[in-house]
Structure 1
């Protein structure tokens, strides 16, 4: 168990993770998280018990809230108490405990005691669009056949949601039901008390735990590069922020002249709003950039409009200019989910123009937001050629390790979307921070570029996370995933303005081999991600990325060479490339 940020995480018993984390959140009226300042940490040890106390103070704008945390640990359980008081009057959406259960529990039996009944169920296997359990007072489950976990909640009503909807690698049981009104006013002096008690019972002794411990004791990650082709690389695209470049908010165009031709994305994704007077200029800029990148680069447009007449003007323009548009995803302004009317209106506008190029454009639907919105919506599938949704790892958590954990949930969302929609999927944009807030209650969903910038993107962390993302998404059973759009081409969150970063170098290399065969690499773990591709018939190129903040010892070899592995050490968040050819 670890104490972090006023919460505890990785709660294990005999080497088995029973709880991913327990923490308390203060959420503002737009569901933003108000981070705490932590002080007065004190720990006392007894013969069979450890007590930890601390103070958390949350201050942001008119929000001032403080709470005393008390954690009591015993050999077979723990109790976590939250005792807080509002120091000012403010609006809040939620204040109190959240418990994270590892997503690896998916499908396992779960007993739920509610306020009026006991339910026998399971942790959801398919991603649950809505709360699978409400009015929770107690949970009982067995992460392993020989362990039983009892978890009791006091001080509020709790319910569970499937956080895989946002690529968090967990299920979350949280306080204050979402069906209750929010935001709610907290008056100065109002208090909140909650507690969570966890008890672990060891049902029987087995050798399984010992075996699991030995597996990790060597510390060496062994990678084996096979010759088995599991799929082809999906198209790799990048966003292009045409408005920023036109208004001068982006980086200087001249400053990027040297790096323009060194990136070869398969497509650029542009956000075009037909409500702007300069949308013609934006499209002209996008076409110019596409022409300057590579001959095979196409355009994907996320299109916002108010009325059908705007779509007719848009169709006339892209047809007359013979723009290299491959795909369009239309949305009414302000909408987060595709409407059947939008798809039909765009199809009508394109078909009304006598330009052969318009007949080849695919029309897709989905969401501008996360898989949660996609999963909860009734999509107009009969009119969709493909589907889309975006990914960012910081909807709920913001530390390095939590971001890396989301990599394991990304392919779960893709598999779920493919199963439910049966459509080709073009994922993106995939970024470290959100570009919109679909849950904003103040009416402002679009975020400024500086709000989308995470400094980690341009460090080794950003490169490792991105390689891990691509590797996790290049799975054999995700063949309908046809394209992934990462980050921006230019500007603060762009690639080409940072040519000396590990992220740029990794993306530059991967983009050189569109549609390359992806080969199976065995031995990948929570610590190391690996992606193997074949640039040509005789060469295999492997990217290996350390997903941790510690050194990792690694051995890598081909399947037909078990005597001479390459031994190396990956520094924190470092990635290395390896080339293998037949001997």
Structure 2
């Protein structure tokens, strides 16, 4: 192996990324037999980055990440990303320089890609992609080079933009999330993080930038072609695009990092948010399923109701609400041609089932789709205009404003806080990218989403709907993928990682991300179905669940612990190492914590004091998935530190100071 190039576990560990695994460990960790992205770490003096056949990631200069990624995705007509087939992948290295050539095809060979790159220890990185259609024009919503810029260190920071006429513009990366493109007509970008500077040049197409934090991507994205151009469009001849990156700057001696301090326990002036269960028809399961859900508990049930929802399902939901002593909140999805009248009809049907919603939010079906702020919006009542009718139909309920999809749609169709009693939206982590590294990076963006939403809230309570890896509905196309092959796939409803250790660790990260925010409630799962806590029969294969011996997913135990913490004073661990998240509250006079390792390397975490701990990891996962009572029955160990293997979760109980 060439000096300065690492592969497999070494490269992944350094990045908090992925390493190859086989067999049962792969299924327990990721819920699928598909291998993770095999990252290779490239080091060229002060320049380092991760390399795969799909992107160049974590581009650093003297250890400072200046470019999050350069990639070459091809989107279909529904904005899903085509999985590429790599035909050739070769790199060569000599004298502080590396070159590479990657040949790929997508959509059954209908489009060919040749990616060529070179990088040097002087901080120069050049990437060229050439796309050639085969057998006729190729239809796409977006194709070619995309550059991602990190949000940590750049949020609100200055940037100089060079335009196609050669002029320059001094502006800033937006602090609060922009609903529209913050920068356009881009041929160059220059910015700094600390003492390190990035200068990026774009050729071969007109580029613009969007604020990807809208979708919980932890990046600002510079891409082509501009959204003002019509899409879907066709590639009918070879196209080449080029990105040139130049990194510079020295690290001052006094900025060298000191030893990481040991984590410290701190009590916050904040309570742990309520944790609900998302419900829609088909997600409830049989009586024995509901008994297990009763053990988990829920602060509330978030019930989606539409014109076709059956009376039988509503009766079951009412029974579950009574059994859990959990109020019902409702998401009312209305047909466009009968929106206001549909509210009265649904109110009558809910009353007949014995359901008196505590909260309601109403949305016309057409507003499940996303529209650019300057685009033509659907005719008829907008979401705010349904609020008076919702109050009339449900006079005892609190009425919300917002959307049933992502913050993107919330930001583009902002609720009038003076009209509503709370604001509301959901989130999916796999809109633009579905690899493990990208999904864990979404946890960086969530606090900035919360801050931007709170700035628009007018002081109203802030509640989240379903926050998930997979996508419940597709606001950007006509359908959502059912992912029958159970891959890491963008815009897919079921994501296999939801039912594995990865999903449990990621959920701890979501809960931890609410620290200091105004979020008072959220949902991480449903009883069954693609977002279920219980793995019931599905129309797709579920590796690891075929034998019927596993009755809950690892996330079940995280959700159960979070329900017990809800409403209690919150505690946190300060000074955690990279890739580790912690969430906790004061329960029965003790600090109860969940500590998750969201990286692909083992993390050792010293604790502020001796504690009791149970570990949900590859060794214990099978037993935990077979027993809903696992948290009660598994032995606790007295520990002074935690050894957290990849995507493991420690359940920790610690005495508080007198």
Give yes or no for TM over 0.5: yes
Q: Partner of 2:497 in structure 1?
A: 456
Structure richer in strand, relative to its length: 1
Q: Partner of 2:617 in structure 1?
A: none
**1:27-71 deviations in Å (ceiling 9; x for gaps):** 1111111121223222222223211111121125xx721111111
Q: Partner of 1:100 in structure 2?
A: 148
Report matched runs for 1:63-212 at 5 Å. Answer: 64-75=110-121, 76-88=123-135, 89-104=137-152, 105-116=154-165, 117-144=167-194, 146-187=195-236, 190-202=237-249, 204=250, 206-208=252-254, 211-212=256-257
**1:443-499 deviations in Å (ceiling 9; x for gaps):** x356669741111111110000000100111x22x13x1210112112342114464
Alignment equivalent of 2:348, drawn from 290, 306, 316: 316
SS of the equivalent of 1:148 reads strand
2 CA distance for matches of 1:542 and 1:53? 47
Report matched runs for 1:87-486 at 5 Å. Answer: 87-88=134-135, 89-104=137-152, 105-116=154-165, 117-144=167-194, 146-187=195-236, 190-202=237-249, 204=250, 206-208=252-254, 211-212=256-257, 215=259, 222-226=262-266, 228-242=267-281, 244=282, 251=285, 253-274=286-307, 276=308, 278-292=309-323, 294-305=324-335, 306-319=338-351, 321-336=353-368, 339-350=383-394, 358-359=395-396, 361-422=397-458, 423-440=460-477, 444-445=478-479, 451-473=492-514, 475-476=515-516, 478-479=517-518, 481-486=519-524
C-alpha deviation, 1:288, in angstroms: 1.7
Q: Give the superposed CA RMSD.
A: 2.3
C-alpha deviation, 1:101, in angstroms: 0.5
Q: Is the 8 A contact 1:555 1:565 kept in 2?
A: no
1 CA distance for matches of 2:148 and 2:259? 25
C-alpha deviation, 1:320, in angstroms: 5.4
1 CA distance for matches of 2:169 and 2:388? 44
SS of the equivalent of 2:525 reads strand
Change (3 A) 1:496 1:44: closer
C-alpha deviation, 1:370, in angstroms: 1.2
Q: Partner of 2:50 in structure 1?
A: 2
Alignment partner of 1:38 is 2:86 = yes
Q: Is the 8 A contact 2:415 2:423 kept in 1?
A: no
2 CA distance for matches of 1:265 and 1:530? 21
**1:358-396 deviations in Å (ceiling 9; x for gaps):** 42x111121122111111224233221111111111011
Q: Is the 8 A contact 1:287 1:324 kept in 2?
A: no
Report matched runs for 1:514-525 at 5 Å. Answer: 514-525=566-577
Q: Partner of 2:607 in structure 1?
A: 556
Alignment equivalent of 2:60, drawn from 3, 7, 12: 12
Q: Which runs of 4+ in 1 moved over 6 A?
A: none
1 CA distance for matches of 2:342 and 2:128? 57
1 CA distance for matches of 2:117 and 2:587? 54
Q: Is the 8 A contact 2:206 2:225 kept in 1?
A: yes
Q: Is the 8 A contact 1:43 1:53 kept in 2?
A: yes
2 CA distance for matches of 1:380 and 1:390? 18
1 CA distance for matches of 2:360 and 2:413? 19
Gaps of 5+ in 2: 1-48, 370-381, 485-491, 536-549, 612-637
Q: Partner of 2:557 in structure 1?
A: 505
2 CA distance for matches of 1:374 and 1:437? 15
Q: Is the 8 A contact 2:565 2:584 kept in 1?
A: no
